[in-house]
Amino acid sequence: MPCKPRPCPRYAALWAHDWRIVLLENLIAYSGKAVMYTLTPPGARRRWNASCQRRLSRLYETVQQSVYREVGVRANLLAVGKEAQLRGAVHVHYVLGVQTAVELRAARAFRRYISEPRGTG
């Protein structure tokens, strides 16, 4: 089986560097103010990690729908980054554009809705 860039030890550093460049270029192209919110998962690491992508996708769409109902636009998502904490649980960073007053209102609503306690589904 061929080595895939992300998980392969031979290519992992190069893959990460390439994505860092893509991320930075996209943030530079936005050329406005941005904020970053971090979502930290609950303590059940194995259960969370096993289904985190599905849960995060569902949570993100629910939050964006709530933001749209409140503000009239979705939050301007510039980037999403996921990484494992020292305890091994995946957490996620959302980078949102806040250059305009509407973007700032949407980002504040995003933070409020993403922070609301929800069931673990």
User: 39: domain range?
Assistant: 32-115
- Say yes or no: 82 and 39 in one domain: yes
CB 39 within 8 A of CB 114: yes
- Residue 14 vs residue 51, higher pLDDT: 51
Residue 77 CB partners (closer than 8 Å, separation 6+)? 94, 95, 96, 97
- Whether 121 maps to a domain, the answer reads no
User: Residue 120's pLDDT is what?
Assistant: 41
- Say yes or no: 69 and 11 in one domain: no
- Whether 120 maps to a domain, the answer reads no
DSSP letters of 53-107? HHHHHHHHHHHHHHHHHHHSS---EEEEEEEE-TTS-EEEEEEEE-SSHHHHHHH
Q: What is the model's pTM?
A: 0.79
Structure tokens at 94: 């959302």
CB 43 within 8 A of CB 49: no
CATH code: domain of residue 36: 3.30.70
pLDDT per position as a tens digit, 69-120: 999 999 999 999 888 777 778 889 999 999 999 999 999 999 999 988 764 4
- Say yes or no: 56 and 101 in one domain: yes
pLDDT at 7 over 70: no
Cα–Cα distance, 19 to 44 (Å, whole number): 29
